[in-house]
Amino acid sequence: MPEEPYLVLARKWRPQAFDDVIGQVHITRTLQNAIEAGRIGHAFLFIGSRGIGKTTTARVLAKALNCTAGDSATPNPCGECDNCTAIAAGNSMDVIEIDGASNNSVEDVRQIRENVRLVPSQSRYKIYVIDEVHQLSSSAFNALLKTLEEPPEHAIFIMATTESHKVPATIISRCQRYDFRRVSLDDLIALLKRVLANETVTATDEALRAIARASDGGVRDAESILEQLVTYCDKTIEFKDVVDVLGLVDWAVLNEMAEAILAQDVGAALHIVEQVTASGKDLSQFVQDLLGHYRNMLICKTTDAKDLLGLPEEDLAALKQQSETYSLTKLIRLVEQFAELTKDFDSQLAQRIALESLLIRISKVSVEMSIDAILEKLVQLGAGGIAGAPDPPSSTTQRSVGAAVLAEALPMEPISESTDTPNSKPGITVSNDNLREHWLTITHAIAQENLKVGVALGRAHPSGIDGDALCIAFTDANKPSRESLERVDSRSVIDTLLQSLTANLRTYKIEGNREPSPANSMSETDNDNPGKTSRHHVAAKDAEEAMTDPHVAKVVEVFRGEIVDIKHPPPGA
């Protein structure tokens, strides 16, 4: 059975009875009731993450089944008979512990199958405890299944796994299944207190809470951390000792960081990273703590489920108050982004860079903007450079206001730098073969240069390359866009852009009306496919009308969305 390095405290305090098992009452009580009622299955499956009491419970169960204090299995093993003491010491002849990771061959399981026929030497049951059972090979599982199908009366299998999805359904269906939970903060603290009660070292409540928090619901981790601290401290374990030993970041620093992020203060945020790095703390732990902090805030904001947090009342109140200062979208985004960040950690440097770039990104207004806010901004801009007078013909050095705002507000596709510095780069060579893949880049670049022209172009579909000309076509529905692209000022914008962006295109041609190919079109409407069942809630006619608004069209294009509903502003708004 795999063990953490020898743990004095854990050994000393390993639960000897069901009541001593921490935080799994839902399981221990069921097991006790089953034993009491004489309903003892032949196969148990214990599922749950590592270090939360699966093997411990398996040993207590083994004792309960084989305890000789009474005439039969007992819900409360005595802990003193030969069988109880032998099981506790790990040398009972009839309780066989097998590590699935190192005994996973079909030969190993065949041996179990042969041994299982032999009656137990000095007990009621012959008990096989198979840890990490998911690691058995598939042929070993098959062999095991045969035994489970017709187990001898005296045989009991207790299997434990951290990855139940890797255990074949045929095995699971033959087992009584028990799902172990991560242990709550309060239960862990109670356990730590109990362990310490018999030691000469004491601990402050703050320190115990920090240990419990760091062990993330794992009993074995909590015990192992406590063990380190008992060795580290002379008399009293204090909060700062826990912080030192575990390389944790102080809560105050976490709060400072949360405030810097909220205030979009990049300087302050980066200084905190510097501070954390300089003090030799573990950055990945810091990020995980921050992630936990935001996750708690998010839960606080969205539910009343205090049990999900395992925090004392005063912490809860403070968290609740903090969560009010964040919008829900912001919190969700923070959690998602920090979660994403923790996936990529491999080196300290990579961590730092990833963290810093994330901090900058989330401190920018643009990323936080909701779609509503973007739409509002676009509508406000309607009076300016977009829906009003056409842009100056050669606005190649200065982008229109609308485009600039959009470029900032929306995550545009990366665009070649040549849009800003014409003739400095040879540009892309666009052919009939790769036209589709460059189409978005071209329309985006043009939208950045001149939103109105870009939007109009976005409603066209590319139909091919003819010499140095890009051929585009419109459907009837997009007649206004077609007309706007026939104008001289539009021509100037597009031609200039094509020349700077591409190596081979100088201009464009608008071809006669034709139906778009569905894959290429970004302006396809239900009218184009009258036979298709509409998934839109909105009449195609209304959607088309809405699309004639360049702001709407742009949003649809950038988000690759579709119009599913139309709401009109109240009169006077």
**526 and 536 in contact (C-beta within 8 Å)?**
yes
Q: Give the DSSP letter string of 269-330.
A: HHHHHHHHHHTT--HHHHHHHHHHHHHHHHHHHH---GGGT---HHHHHHHHHHHHTS-HHH
Q: Which one of 77-85, 97-105, 444-452, 507-515 is the stretch in contact with Zn ion (CB under 5 A)?
A: 77-85
Q: Does 81 bind Zn ion (CB under 5 A)?
A: yes
Among 67, 195, 245, 298, binds Zn ion (CB under 5 A): 67
Task: Provide the CB-side half-sphere exposure for 366 (13 A, CA).
Answer: 11
Which helix (H) or strand (E) element contains residue 131?
Answer: strand 126-131
* Type of residue at 148: L
Looking at residues 516 to 545 of the shown chain, list those that interact with Zn ion (rule: CB under 5 A): none
Q: For 102-128, what is the HEC assignment? A: CCCCHHHHHHHHHHHHCCCCCCCCEEE
Min dist. Cβ of residue 159 to Zn ion (A): 23
Min dist. Cβ of residue 90 to Zn ion (A): 15
Q: Which one of 73-81, 119-127, 146-154, 174-182 is the stretch in contact with Zn ion (CB under 5 A)?
A: 73-81
What single DSSP character describes residue 466? E
Min dist. Cβ of residue 70 to Zn ion (A): 9
What single DSSP character describes residue 386? I
**104 and 135 in contact (C-beta within 8 Å)?**
yes
Which helix (H) or strand (E) element contains residue 499?
Answer: helix 488-501
Q: Which one of 65-73, 175-183, 309-317, 407-415 is the stretch in contact with Zn ion (CB under 5 A)?
A: 65-73
Min dist. Cβ of residue 179 to Zn ion (A): 28
Min dist. Cβ of residue 79 to Zn ion (A): 6
Residue 92 vs 441, nearer CB to Zn ion: 92
Q: Which one of 38-46, 72-80, 148-156, 313-321 is the stretch in contact with Zn ion (CB under 5 A)?
A: 72-80
Residue 88 vs 457, nearer CB to Zn ion: 88
Q: What is the rounded CA–CA span in Å between residue 62 and residue 54? A: 12
Min dist. Cβ of residue 60 to Zn ion (A): 11
Q: Does 60 bind Zn ion (CB under 5 A)?
A: no
Min dist. Cβ of residue 42 to Zn ion (A): 22
Q: Which one of 61-69, 94-102, 156-164, 476-484 is the stretch in contact with Zn ion (CB under 5 A)?
A: 61-69
Residue 84 vs 477, nearer CB to Zn ion: 84
Q: Does 248 bind Zn ion (CB under 5 A)?
A: no
Q: Which one of 31-39, 82-90, 314-322, 545-553 is the stretch in contact with Zn ion (CB under 5 A)?
A: 82-90
Q: What is the rounded CA–CA span in Å between residue 560 and residue 72? A: 69
Q: Which two tokens stand for residue 158?
A: 């207790």
Residue 40 vs 211, nearer CB to Zn ion: 40
Q: Which one of 78-86, 113-121, 333-341, 403-411 is the stretch in contact with Zn ion (CB under 5 A)?
A: 78-86
Looking at residues 356 to 415 of the shown chain, list those that interact with Zn ion (rule: CB under 5 A): none
Min dist. Cβ of residue 131 to Zn ion (A): 23
Question: How many residues lie near Zn ion (CB under 5 A)?
Answer: 6
For the purposes of burial, counting CB atoms within 10 Å of the CB of 338, is it exposed (0-12), middle (13-18) or buried (19 or more)?
buried
Residue 93 vs 564, nearer CB to Zn ion: 93
Q: Does 69 bind Zn ion (CB under 5 A)?
A: yes
Q: Which one of 80-88, 288-296, 321-329, 548-556 is the stretch in contact with Zn ion (CB under 5 A)?
A: 80-88
Q: Which one of 59-67, 210-218, 283-291, 456-464 is the stretch in contact with Zn ion (CB under 5 A)?
A: 59-67
- Closest listed residue to residue 378, CA positions, set 401, 398, 395, 362: 401
Residue 129 vs 445, nearer CB to Zn ion: 129
Among 84, 88, 127, 335, binds Zn ion (CB under 5 A): 84
Q: Which two tokens stand for residue 263?
A: 């205030």
Among 9, 78, 270, 339, binds Zn ion (CB under 5 A): 78
Residue 69 vs 318, nearer CB to Zn ion: 69
Q: Does 546 bind Zn ion (CB under 5 A)?
A: no
Which phi and psi (to 5°) does residue 326 adopt? -105, 145
Q: For 142-193, what is the HEC assignment? A: HHHHHHHHCCCCCEEEEEEECCHHHCCHHHHCCCEEEECCCCCHHHHHHHHH
Q: Return left, alpha or beta for 560; rule: phi > 0 is left, psi -120 to 50 is alpha, else beta.
A: left
Residue 77 vs 402, nearer CB to Zn ion: 77
Residue 80 vs 511, nearer CB to Zn ion: 80
**473 and 514 in contact (C-beta within 8 Å)?**
yes
Q: What is the rounded CA–CA span in Å between residue 317 and residue 385? A: 48
Q: What is the rounded CA–CA span in Å between residue 23 and residue 184? A: 7
Q: N- to C-terminal Cα distance for the chain?
A: 71
Min dist. Cβ of residue 16 to Zn ion (A): 10
Residue 55 vs 66, nearer CB to Zn ion: 66
Q: Which residues bind Zn ion (CB under 5 A)?
A: 67, 69, 77-78, 81, 84
